[in-house]
Amino acid sequence: MAERKVTVTSEVGLHARPAATFVQTAAKAPFDVMIAKVDGPPVNAKSILAVLSLDVEQGDFIVVSAEGEGADELLDQLVEIVSAP
């Protein structure tokens, strides 16, 4: 399973537009994609409600994971979304 740990740098965290972009990108994958706050339970990264329920704010550490062909490339894209200012 591929995994990335990243600090969220977006000013609004993972809310509203960044969350929608994150979920839309994750939803394109034909495999499961999970997101969690560090030491928290993982949720489905393809669900906008699940992602918003994490209440990820700027400066929070998150873990994004996926398993399948192309998982590394997808995770790189997801990390780019949460790392945008």
pTM for this structure?
Answer: 0.94
Mean of the pLDDT values across residues 14-20?
Answer: 93
Q: How far apart are CA 51 and CA 72, in angstroms?
A: 20
Cα–Cα distance list, 42 to 54, 84, 85 (Å): 9, 22, 24
Looking at the structure of the chain, the number of domains it has is: 1
pLDDT tens readout for residues 27-71: 999 999 999 998 899 999 999 999 999 999 999 999 999 999 999
Tell me: pLDDT of 72 over 90.
yes
Active-site residue among 2, 12, 13, 15? 15
Q: Can you give the pLDDT at residue 39? A: 85
15 is catalytic: yes
Place of tokens 């993982």: 42
Q: How far apart are CA 67 and CA 32, in angstroms?
A: 7
Q: What is the CATH number of the domain that holds 48?
A: 3.30.1340.10
* Residue-range definition of the domain harbouring residue 11: 2-83
